[in-house]
């Protein structure tokens, strides 16, 4: 599929999504359309897998009839294998195309559709994929009045959406391109742009995700593991996966239930096998779910300056104990940093997006920052980003890069990329060339006038461990010097020209026999 065809597909899906919009907010109709697209993907994948098993049997999966005694053994065997290999099972009558076709012909399909979505979840019970499919479709409330005032109206709307989606070829058998994955990411981004403040809960702009991914994969072509403690829709984790040949295992944790479901759908839809990801739903700071593991790469875009309990009991927690101080209850930013560093492997790289305040705020955050630099020496780089590039907030942000065994352990790299962006209607955007410039500066690790500075640890100490970027990268633009003699000469010339003009006007007035507005010019 060409780029133009992909863009056409994305536009098509967005138009279908807007069919559902009605009075719903962006985050509400998002859940329906992404859920229906995911169901279509599962159906097409089930058909492809079943037909591989039926190869040479003179019958296709769609031709199997559950009421035909001769077909039942085929269906049961396919179901058994499918649960083991792809993690779930569907029967021919439960397929997306079957239900969409019935809806197109005017049948009432809501009850069967709801039963099918539940059956997908239940087909995994007792299997290795059970956690990955449990309650996955719980946000698709087909009885919601947001879809229509009565059952028939709701049925008509859902049938219309399924019919439109059924007509689209997602080309999931094409292993050379992740067409549907790209389209899904596009839709998530579009929903984020319309979701206002809530967008920050589930989506990191693609260019920022790519930047974080390039940083944590620098010099590597595969990772044993990658982890995001506030994974949202999972897009950042998937971006890391794209930057290397393979990631053995993907880990994530997300507090919001709906977003947690979206993250699991996103993994499966991007063809990440159920055995190769582990996404949990809980509060990372208070109930971490992967605390016994250490990761090659850790990435995150935590909620900026979120509140947390800061309970003194956390000073006995291995993640925070050594620092002697906790992040303030009104700003959990440093708590996320401490948590991520604790889970980082000795040879891993961590990159996290945070508000600038973590670089210079005092009190307990200052104590934690000093410990990170002076005692642990893990702060590898600080990258300043432009303002207004994130959904839901216009504040400028920065990226902290931390490593436990640093190659450059005698200095910290500072990059000021805050002035490189394209101004768009409602938001600033990092372009690929801005991204390339940042990555090149990160890799070269050299002083670049008004852009990057390699500061010694002594310099940082002399600044009382304040990491505010302007202290290290001088972006001051001196105003051009003014030549006062030249300005005086220009004023004299203008005065002479003015006197000549006044004389001409006075002469015209004399010829017309009227008073001159100027004093008599000698």
pLDDT band at 517 (very low <50, low <70, confident <90, very high): confident
Q: In whole angstroms, what is the distance from residue 446 CA to residue 458 CA?
A: 17
> What range does the domain containing 397 cover?
196-471
Residues 445 and 333 in one domain: yes
What are the tens digits of pLDDT across the range 433-449?
999 999 999 999 999 99
Residue 478 lies in a domain: no
Do 336 and 226 sit in the same domain of this protein? yes
Residue 212 falls inside a structural domain? yes
Whether 189 and 337 share a structural domain: no
Residue 355 DSSP SS3: strand
CA distances from 430 to 340, 460, 475 (A): 26, 29, 19
Give yes or no: residues 25 and 98 share one domain.
yes
On the question of pLDDT at 208 being above 80, the answer is yes
Shared-domain flag, residues 187 and 200: no
CA pair distance 471, 477, nearest whole angstrom: 15
The rounded Cα 400 to chain-centroid distance in angstroms is 17
Residues 233 and 174 in one domain: no
Residues 187 and 251 reside in one and the same domain = no
Integer Cα distance of 258 and 256 in angstroms: 6
pTM of the prediction? 0.86
Judge whether 367 and 323 are in contact, CB under 8 Å. yes
Q: What is the number of domains present in the chain?
A: 3
Of 161, 194, 227, the residue that ends a domain is 194
CB neighbour list of residue 20: distance below 8 Å, 6 or more residues apart: 29, 32, 33, 147, 157, 161
Q: How many other C-beta atoms lie within 10 A of the C-beta of residue 97?
A: 16
Asked if 200 and 310 touch (Cβ cutoff 8 Å), the reply is: no
The model's pLDDT over 327-348, given as tens digits with 9 standing for 90+, comes to: 999 999 999 999 999 999 999 9
Kindly state whether residue 476 falls inside one of the protein's structural domains: no
Per-residue pLDDT reduced to its tens digit, 460-490: 999 999 999 999 998 765 566 777 888 888 8
In a domain, 241, yes or no: yes
Same domain, 182 and 202: no
Cβ distance 34 to 187 under 8 Å?
Answer: yes
Which CATH number belongs to the domain containing residue 280 in this structure? 3.40.50.150
The answer to whether the CB of 392 falls within 8 A of the CB of 439 is no
How far is residue 514's CA from residue 516's CA, in Å, rounded to a whole number? 6
Q: Which of 53-57, 241-245, 319-323, 333-337 is the least confident region?
A: 53-57
- Mean pLDDT of the region 255-283: 93
Lowest mean pLDDT among 115-124, 207-216, 493-502: 493-502
Mark whether 262 and 379 lie in a shared domain: yes
Which SS3 state, helix, strand or coil, does residue 137 take? coil
Cα 244 to Cα 21, 217, 224, 435, distances in angstroms: 37, 7, 11, 18
Q: Is residue 88 part of a domain?
A: yes
| pLDDT exceeds 80 at position 87 | yes
DSSP letters, 66-87, are TT-TTTHHHHHHHHHHHHHHTS
């Amino acid at each position: 599929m060409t780029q133009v065809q992909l863009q056409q597909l994305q536009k098509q899906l967005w138009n279908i999504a807007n069919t559902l919009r009605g009075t719903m907010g962006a985050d509400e109709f998002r859940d329906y359309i992404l859920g229906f697209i995911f169901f279509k993907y599962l159906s097409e994948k089930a058909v492809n897998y079943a037909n591989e098993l039926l190869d040479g049997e003179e019958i296709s999966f769609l031709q199997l009839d559950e009421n035909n005694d001769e077909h039942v053994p085929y269906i049961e065997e396919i179901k058994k294998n499918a649960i083991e290999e792809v993690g779930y099972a569907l029967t021919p009558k439960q397929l997306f195309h079957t239900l969409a076709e019935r809806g197109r012909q005017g049948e009432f399909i809501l009850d069967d559709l709801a039963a099918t979505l539940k059956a997908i979840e239940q087909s995994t019970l007792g299997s290795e994929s059970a956690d990955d499919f449990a309650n996955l479709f719980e946000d698709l409330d087909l009885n919601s009045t947001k879809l229509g005032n009565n059952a028939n109206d709701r049925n008509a709307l859902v049938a219309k959406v399924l019919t439109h989606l059924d007509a689209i070829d997602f080309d999931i058998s094409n292993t050379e391109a992740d067409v549907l994955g790209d389209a899904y990411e596009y839709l998530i981004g579009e929903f984020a742009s319309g979701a206002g403040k809530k967008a920050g809960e589930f989506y990191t702009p693609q260019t920022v995700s790519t930047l974080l991914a390039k940083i944590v994969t620098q010099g590597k072509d595969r990772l044993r593991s990658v982890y995001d403690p506030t994974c949202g829709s999972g897009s950042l984790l998937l971006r890391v996966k794209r930057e290397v040949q393979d990631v053995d295992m993907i880990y994530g944790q997300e507090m919001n239930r709906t977003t947690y479901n979206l993250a699991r759908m996103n993994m499966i839809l991007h063809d990440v096998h159920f055995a190769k990801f582990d996404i949990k739903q809980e509060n990372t700071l208070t109930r971490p779910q992967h605390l016994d593991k250490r990761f090659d790469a850790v990435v995150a875009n935590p909620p900026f300056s979120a509140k947390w309990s800061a309970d003194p009991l956390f000073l006995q927690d291995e993640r925070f104990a050594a620092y002697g101080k906790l992040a303030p209850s009104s700003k959990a930013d440093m708590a996320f940093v401490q948590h991520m560093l604790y889970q980082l492997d000795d040879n891993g790289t961590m990159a996290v997006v945070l508000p600038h305040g973590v670089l210079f705020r005092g009190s307990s955050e200052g104590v934690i920052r000093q410990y990170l630099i002076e005692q642990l020496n893990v702060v590898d780089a600080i990258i300043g980003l432009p303002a207004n590039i994130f959904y839901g907030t216009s504040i400028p942000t920065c990226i902290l890069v931390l490593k436990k065994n640093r190659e450059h352990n005698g200095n910290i790299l500072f990059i000021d990329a805050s002035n490189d962006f394209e101004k768009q209607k409602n938001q600033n955007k990092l372009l690929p060339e801005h991204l390339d410039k940042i990555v090149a500066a990160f890799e070269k690790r050299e002083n670049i006038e008004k852009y990057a500075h390699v500061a010694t640890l002594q310099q940082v100490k002399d600044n009382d461990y304040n990491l505010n970027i302007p202290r290290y990268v001088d972006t001051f633009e001196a105003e051009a010097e003014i030549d006062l003699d030249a300005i005086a000469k220009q004023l004299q010339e203008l005065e002479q020209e003015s006197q000549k003009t006044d004389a001409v006007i006075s002469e015209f007035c004399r010829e017309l026999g009227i008073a001159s507005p100027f004093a008599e010019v000698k």
